[in-house]
Amino acid sequence: MTELLQGATRTEALAPLLAQGWTETPDRVAIEKRFVFRNFNEAFGFMTRVALMAEKRDHHPDWRNVYRTVEVTLSTHDAGGLTTKDTELAQRMDEAAAYV
């Protein structure tokens, strides 16, 4: 199982993501972000790219799509919080969102 991010390692791993619009959930076991695209086609294209990536990594987002917005929450369930699987997927999602 991937180790929980804790202490200074956690702070360092989260810093760039918080600067890119990710926030910690109030219970601190997950990070979340709302992506807003120009239209549904772009939103669903993003979800398609991320879905393939998530399946390859066996690490999947909790997400909700309404028209052109996609709300995402990331955590590692079996670790009970945040791991590098989440911070890495978050970074890849930001890259996928920029590719529209």
Ligand X SMILES: C[C@H](O)[C@H](O)[C@H]1CNC2=NC(N)=NC(=O)C2=N1
Question: From CA 83, how far away is CA 88, in angstroms rounded?
Answer: 9
Nearest to 86 by CA among 95, 76, 96: 76
**Helix, strand, or coil here: 90?**
helix
Residue 28: Cβ within 10 Å count: 11
Binding mask 20-59 for ligand X (x = CB under 6 A): --------------------------------------xx
Between 65 and 68, CB nearer to ligand X: 65
Between 37 and 63, CB nearer to ligand X: 63
Instruction: Identify residues 67-96 at the interface with ligand X (CB under 6 A).
Output: 76-78
User: What are the residues binding ligand X (CB under 6 A)?
Assistant: 58-60, 76-78
